[in-house]
């Protein structure tokens, strides 16, 4: 009997859809979700004992792979000292200091437990600091499931969006303006129409929830200029890209291309927790001191700065800060992307891909898309065939067309070679 199927049937009796986060249900690709029994390095094993090369890495945090010895030791020691105190610890201070040292735009940081919580809190802080209500987000960017951010684009240019989830009242979404990613014309019009009312513009600098789409340098430069001109805060959602695409995060990439560039607020998660529930938001002291208990913007959390999570995060940051770490990780990721592109080309399959640091994405399209509308042109049926073909060959990529992939320092040259060989076999079937 298939243990995965048995577990899925049991789960559906007590858990909505059988999963605790929707993408895990395999609804987009069909078939039975793999229930993970254990993981080590670049692999995990499912309930049937089948081994897979893991390219989701818990959706980004496992930059060192699973079960890194230094991280395990730090977590085990922290757990022995106590799971949770509801009181300050030295490790909270150490982790905040480490994040601020790596991300120069952040002078102060508040630790929380999830990316959704961090993004929601950053929006509240931006509104409190500016005294304004309206915000800008971009179609295809995901900032967690807070009500004001579960909004899709309106019907016309620079129009306000409407809720994409039941349970979100229209009046909550009425202050959220949804624009097309990388569309300068819409950006200019939005600020011309609403500039004095805008609290912030929130953006994924590399959007990882429409696979992998970069904001162009001219577009990002104009975002910065318009926010500065109109007194709105530029909020970078680096939950996915933070310390994943490089030690300076995505904002470091733009700072190299745009002199003096930095966001006003940054939202981080995933890598800074090393796989434990931990996230953060931060920025200049003058803005961050608007938070309680110093200022009028309220935010709190029982498990914020959890001692086991901070131990995991600190150990992870220490490892990725070692000289040469990101150079090696980037080279490994590039070898995967180049190998996949060559395999697709050899079999006559339309394919485009991009990567940065330990994050990558690919499309069954001849050219890289620049926005969500272009991403939607990908052939979903062919992607599903690719997904299941790789799965049958022991390669686990995201079970959805619109998710980025992740490489860890634990992925070996052999892992990459096996992945590329499996992909070529599947590409051959797609071309037939």
Cβ atoms within 10 Å, residue 23? 18
The token pair that represents 400 in the structure block: 């959805």
Distance CA 318, CA 93 (A): 15
**Helical packing angle, 307-320 and 69-81, nearest 10°:** 160
Q: Which residues contact 141 (CB under 8 A, 6 or more apart)?
A: 181, 202, 203, 204, 207, 209, 210, 237
Is 237 annotated in the active site?
Answer: yes
- The CA distance from 150 to 166, in Å, is 10
- Rounded to whole angstroms, the Cα distance separating 51 from 49 reads 6
* Count, residues in the chain: 432
In the residue annotation, 142 being an active-site residue is answered as yes
Q: How far apart are CA 50 and CA 6, in angstroms?
A: 15
DSSP state, 145?
S
Which member of 54, 270, 372, 415 is catalytic?
270
Taking residue 336's Cβ as centre, other Cβ atoms within 10 Å add up to 23
Catalytic residue (one of 46, 54, 237, 264): 237
Is position 377 annotated as part of the catalytic site? no
Cis peptide before 104 (omega within 30 of 0): no
For residue 258, count CB atoms less than 10 angstroms from its CB and return exposed for 0-12, middle for 13-18, buried for 19 or more: middle
- CB contact set of 266 (below 8 Å; sequence gap of 6+): 103, 105, 106, 235, 236, 238, 242, 249, 251, 281, 282, 283
Catalytic residue, chosen from 52, 142, 396, 402, is 142
Residue 280's CB is within 10 A of a number of other CB atoms, namely 31
Contact 130, 231 (CB under 8 A): yes
- Hey, how many other C-beta atoms are within 10 angstroms of the C-beta on 30? 10
Of 316, 306, 320, 329, nearest to 70 by C-alpha is 316
Q: What CA–CA distance (Å, rounded) separates 32 from 388?
A: 11
Closest alpha carbon to 329 in 238, 416, 391 = 416
Picking from 219, 204, 229, 52, the residue whose alpha carbon sits closest to that of residue 138 is 204
Which residues belong to the active site?
142, 237, 270
């Amino acid at each position: 009997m298939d243990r995965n199927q048995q577990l899925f049937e049991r789960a559906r009796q007590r858990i909505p859809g059988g999963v605790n986060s929707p993408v895990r249900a395999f609804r987009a690709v069909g078939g039975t979700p793999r229930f993970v029994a254990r993981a080590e390095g670049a692999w995990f094993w499912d309930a049937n004992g089948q081994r897979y090369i893991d390219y989701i890495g818990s959706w980004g945090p496992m930059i060192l792979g699973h079960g890194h010895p230094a991280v395990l030791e730090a977590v085990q020691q922290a757990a022995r000292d106590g799971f949770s105190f509801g009181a300050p610890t030295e490790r909270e201070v150490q982790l905040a200091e480490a994040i601020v040292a790596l991300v120069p735009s952040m002078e102060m940081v508040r630790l929380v437990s999830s990316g959704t919580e961090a993004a929601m809190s950053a929006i509240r802080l931006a509104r409190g600091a500016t005294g304004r209500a309206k915000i800008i987000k971009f179609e295809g960017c995901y900032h967690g499931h807070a009500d004001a951010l579960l909004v899709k684009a309106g019907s016309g240019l620079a129009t306000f969006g409407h809720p994409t989830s039941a349970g979100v009242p229209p009046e909550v979404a009425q202050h959220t303006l949804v624009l097309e990613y990388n569309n300068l014309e819409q950006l200019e019009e939005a600020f011309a129409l609403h500039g004095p009312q805008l609290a912030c513009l929130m953006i994924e600098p590399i959007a990882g929830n429409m696979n992998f789409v970069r904001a162009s340098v001219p577009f990002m430069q104009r975002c910065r200029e318009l926010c500065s001109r109109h007194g709105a805060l530029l909020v970078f959602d680096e939950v996915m890209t933070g310390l994943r695409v490089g030690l300076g995060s995505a904002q470091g990439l733009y700072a190299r291309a745009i002199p003096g560039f930095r966001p006003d607020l940054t939202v981080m998660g995933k890598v800074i927790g090393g796989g434990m529930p931990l996230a953060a938001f931060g920025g200049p002291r003058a803005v961050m001191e608007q938070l309680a208990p110093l200022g009028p913007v309220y935010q709190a959390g029982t498990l914020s700065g959890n001692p086991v999570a901070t131990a995991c995060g600190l150990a992870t940051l220490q490892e990725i800060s070692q000289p040469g770490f990101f150079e090696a990780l980037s080279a490994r990721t590039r070898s995967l992307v180049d190998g996949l592109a060559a395999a697709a080309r050899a079999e006559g399959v339309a394919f485009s891909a991009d990567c940065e640091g330990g994050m990558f994405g690919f499309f069954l399209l001849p050219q890289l898309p620049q926005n969500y509308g272009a991403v939607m042109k990908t052939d979903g049926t062919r992607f599903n065939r690719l997904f299941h073909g790789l799965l049958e060959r022991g390669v686990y990529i995201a079970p959805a067309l619109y998710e980025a992939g992740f490489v860890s320092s634990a992925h070996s040259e052999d892992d990459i070679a096996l992945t590329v060989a499996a992909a070529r076999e599947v590409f051959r079937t797609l071309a037939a």
